[in-house]
Each structure stands twice: as C-alpha cells, then as structure tokens.
C-alpha cells in the first residue's frame, strides 16, 4: 500500500485494485451514503446518528431522489439524544453518483426502487423503515413514531456498521 501522510485528508492507493479510501492520520474513514425519497427524515436521522455514534471512523452523507427540507419532528427526535441535525440540508443524490462509497444504504422502499447505480459503491444495502412523515394524530403521537423509527435506525447502524471490522 502506498500512502502520502499529511495533516489533512489524503487518499491511500491500494495495490490490490480496491477503490481508494479516505483517511486521516492512521484512521481509515468509511464513506457511507444514506438515501431516502425526500431526504427529510429517515436518511437525515441516519446521517446524524452515524456521524454521532461513529465519530472519526466515518464520512457520512445523505441524499434523496428529491430534495425538500429536514422535518421539524426529525430534528426534535434527534435533539432528544443530544444530536443536532437542524443544520443539515436536504440534497438530491445526483451530486454523489460518481463518488466512491463503502456503503450506499437506502432507508425507504421507494428510494430503493428509484435509486440509480452507484459505480463507486463497494456495497449497496436496503434497510426498510416506516415513513414517519406519514404518521397521523397529535404532535406527540407523531413524534412517538419519529422516535421509534430513529431508534430502529440506531439499532441497525449499531448492528451492521459499528460492529464491522
């Protein structure tokens, strides 16, 4: 493996033909992209959770097949865990199609069907979660759905991304 240490990010060229991985110092950063239809709730919560839980081990992004706005109840549900996603923006996935990723993860069924091929992705995964933006009832009842989906996303991240070598 050839590498060129610098105090900022640099690429490592692997002789075995794998895609380059971003590193900082000696830490290999895994690049993860979460995709949902509107990039407004599930993918935004997943981005915030992995960024918080994964620390310096990950570069985390989220996008949607369409861009809208981050939903206030998603922001509130995350704030309950001390994670601020209020500054995150809804983005379309076209900006990421040609970038290298270790994992591209769709977090809703519609996005899984509409998702383009990511030639730079080492793996693609699909995690199906209920759409909390479709919840009905009082604000507290709807927030309860966001909390449940948030906790399901967290459990999946902990099981499948944080326990991998």
73 part of the active site: no
Contact of 78 with 84, CB cutoff 8 Å: yes
Contact of 19 with 122, CB cutoff 8 Å: yes
81 part of the active site: no
Out of 35, 36, 49, 112, which one is annotated catalytic?
36
Q: Which positions ≥6 away from 136 have C-beta within 8 Å?
A: 142
115 part of the active site: yes
Out of 41, 108, 145, 161, which one is annotated catalytic?
108
Out of 75, 83, 85, 115, which one is annotated catalytic?
115
For residue 52, the 8-state DSSP code is: H
* Spatial distance between the Cα atoms of 105 and 57, rounded to a whole number of angstroms: 17
Active site residues: 36, 108, 115
């Amino acid at each position: 493996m050839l590498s060129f240490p610098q105090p900022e990010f640099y690429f490592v060229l692997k002789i075995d033909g794998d895609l380059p991985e971003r590193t900082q110092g000696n830490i290999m950063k895994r690049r993860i992209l979460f995709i949902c239809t509107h990039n407004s709730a599930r993918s935004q919560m997943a981005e915030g959770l992995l960024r918080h839980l994964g620390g310096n081990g990950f570069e985390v992004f989220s996008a949607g097949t369409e861009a809208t706005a981050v939903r206030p109840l998603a922001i509130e549900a995350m704030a309950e865990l001390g994670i601020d996603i209020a500054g995150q923006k809804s983005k379309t996935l076209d900006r990421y199609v040609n970038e290298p990723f270790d994992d591209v993860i769709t977090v809703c069924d519609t996005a899984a069907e509409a998702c383009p091929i990511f030639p730079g992705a080492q793996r693609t995964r699909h995690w199906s979660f209920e759409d909390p933006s479709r919840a009905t009832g009082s604000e507290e009842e709807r927030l309860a759905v966001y909390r449940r989906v948030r906790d399901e996303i967290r459990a999946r991240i902990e099981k499948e991304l944080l326990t991998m070598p």
